[in-house]
Amino acid sequence: MAKTALVTGGNRGIGQEVARVLAQDGWDVLVAGRDRAKADAAAARLRKGTGGRLRGVELDVTSDASVAAAAQKLRDGAIRIDALVNNAGVLGRAAAAQTIETNALGPLRVTLGLLPLLRDGATVTNVTSGLGELANLDAEHRRFLADPALTRDALVAALHELARGGRGWGTDAYGASKAALNALTRILAAELAPRGIRVNATCPGWVRTDMGGRNAPRSVEEGAASVLYGVTAAETGGVFRDGRRIPP
């Protein structure tokens, strides 16, 4: 039986390439996008290009209602997920609150919302960035995120405060959001270990997409390959680029 993957922000950029490779490798792929028409169009485009099995799913990672509706639809279709790729992200023009909501709270919302549909032994891949390295944060937040005793609730509370315009973490909202995502990855890995679900963060490197711009050194194929490591990783709770651990 084919395995099923769901890729958020799968309608363009790195997410679309991840979806394409998985479809080519024989996976059933749910191409999730916040805009239903764009998700469907990307799924159609990729079906044509790969001959694979892909379908669009409307899913805005910043909305509890949208995640719940997507989960209900998938449940109605008796779909189970073997690999969740939390790829959707924003940088730059987005307001700080939107950046935190999308890049850090979004993967948590989607993972928890789809958790009943994830098979035991599934993987969750959170797409991170080198800009989220702890070394970029002020000492207080470096300690806070690195603390092995950090709980999910404490992390979420700190993110809500940051999104409300609270004190910064010594870096911009994007760097803070990805540093938090790395910590969240560690926390979720421990929480989901009893079900054999592996949770890792993978960094694509600096990639030529709408986000990365045309001067980025990496192709979308190279970036996607680095992300895809998380889909089959045997480890859990780590941060990786090109299949090698990097500092969180």
Ligand X SMILES: NC(=O)c1ccc[n+]([C@@H]2O[C@H](COP(=O)([O-])OP(=O)(O)OC[C@H]3O[C@@H](n4cnc5c(N)ncnc54)[C@H](OP(=O)(O)O)[C@@H]3O)[C@@H](O)[C@H]2O)c1
| Interface residues toward ligand X, by CB under 6 A | 8-9, 11-15, 33-35, 38, 60-62, 87-91, 102, 127, 129, 203-204, 206-207, 209-212, 216
Which is nearer to ligand X, 67 or 158 (by Cβ)? 67
Q: Which is nearer to ligand X, 140 or 208 (CB)?
A: 208
Phi, psi dihedrals of residue 176, rounded to the nearest 5° = -65, -40
CA–CA separation, 2 vs 153, rounded Å?
36
CB of 203 to ligand X, least distance (A): 6
Least distance in angstroms from the C-beta of 83 to ligand X: 16
Distance CA 3, CA 5 (A): 7
CA diameter of the chain: 51
Considering the complex, what minimum distance in angstroms separates the CB of residue 1 from ligand X? 28
Distance between CA atoms of residues 190 and 150, nearest Å: 12
Q: Which is nearer to ligand X, 154 or 160 (CB)?
A: 160
Report, in Å, the least distance between residue 99 CB and ligand X. 9
Centre a 10 Å sphere on the Cβ of residue 213 and count the other Cβ atoms it contains.
11
Q: Of 174, 176, 184, 204, which residue is the catalytic one? A: 174
Q: Which is nearer to ligand X, 62 or 236 (CB)?
A: 62
Task: Give 72 or 151: the residue with its C-beta nearer to ligand X.
Answer: 72
Identify which of 199, 235, 36, 230 has the alpha carbon closest to the alpha carbon of residue 118.
Answer: 199
- Answer yes or no: are the C-beta atoms of 104 and 158 closer than 8 Å: no
- Strand 118-127 relative to strand 198-203, pairing: parallel
In degrees, to the nearest 5, what angle opens at C-alpha 118 toward C-alphas 245 and 47? 85
Residue 88 CB, nearest distance to ligand X (Å)? 3
Structure tokens at 1: 């039986």
Residue type, 138: D
| CB-count burial class (<10 Å; 0-12, 13-18, 19+) for 232 | exposed
CA nearest to 220, candidates 6, 58, 18: 18
Q: Tell me whether residue 229 is one of the annotated catalytic residues.
A: no
Which residues are annotated as catalytic? Answer: 174
